[in-house]
Structure 1
Amino acid sequence: MLAGGPVEVLGLADVPEFPDAPETGATFAENALAKARDAVAATGLPSIADDSGLAVDALNGMPGVLSARWSGRHGDDEANLRLLLGQLADVPDPRRGAAFVCAAALVLPGGPESGLETVVHGEWRGRIVREPRGANGFGYDPVFVPDGEERTSAELSPDEKDAASHRGRAMRALLPHLHDLG
């Protein structure tokens, strides 16, 4: 998204390693801000971080910020998926709405009191199907069918997913703020 733009993009591999802080925020925005603030503190560079997850309507927005550790173990995609499908087993198809949600934070050096922090959000609405399908993606992708699609997120090509996803939407919302840095 920033190719040929006024900002040079560096990844984590391009800066000295720094510890990951635990995700203790109650919202995606709080977690994204914490991660971006940690990156700024460690590197002295403007930093972007995001936090994202799945919000299921029938579960009152859960797993939400707990998406990666819904089953109790962080990053156990298979266990998280099995638990989610088990929790929704008796929920009728018309009530299986969900959204992938992403908060992306841009933090500039100067600290939170400087006003140099921006948080944007992206949402990708859809529904949860009963059986996993597809091999692309990770996490809940095999059971999430975006609105207007019959394929799960895991059946979409990477380019299709990037064009429509919650993370892509949030990053596109950050673009004007990044161009202001140039």
Structure 2
Amino acid sequence: MNKTLLFAGAMAGTMALASCDSSGGAGFGAWDADRNEIIDNNEFDQAFTTSSHFGDWNEDNNSFISKEEFYEGYAKMMDRDNNGAISNTEWDQAVNSYFTGYEYQPDNEYSDWDGDSDGNLSTQEVRSSLSKTDYFDEWDKDGNGELSEKEFAKGVFTTWDTDGDGFIQAEEYTNWYDTGQ
């Protein structure tokens, strides 16, 4: 069965925000500073930049996330059981949960990404396949080949704003936090 993938950054968004409640109790209410049941861009930026989420992806602790770090983080995200390989089941979960929204729309099947045809995707195979896309470039708004914390936060915000209204409602937050979708 052919799967159409629409890369919106949901994987990155999920990893960046999914640990909010589990790492210090910063749930929806902590991000919704004015307590109006929505998180706007300003609230999100404030909460995001005071969290450790950017640092979780920025492996070399400089001021940006490189393409390599972004794709590595993405591959790790797909590997839900953390065994170093993405199974067909994990692939299906990622396709069904995380790929919505942006312009990039490859028609690929799991086997197209499985370069060595061993039945599992390595993080290298995911990185290699993603590097052939414009996925990273859609987040890199200034085009300098690096994601600043602000660009990364914007990508995550856009991902979690599943209805595209410019706000993250409690239900959107809860859906992503609880289920990754």
- Is the TM-score greater than 0.5? no
Q: TM-score, normalised by structure 2?
A: 0.29
Higher relative contact order (CA 8 A, sep 6+): 2
Larger Rg: 1
Q: TM-score, normalised by structure 1?
A: 0.29
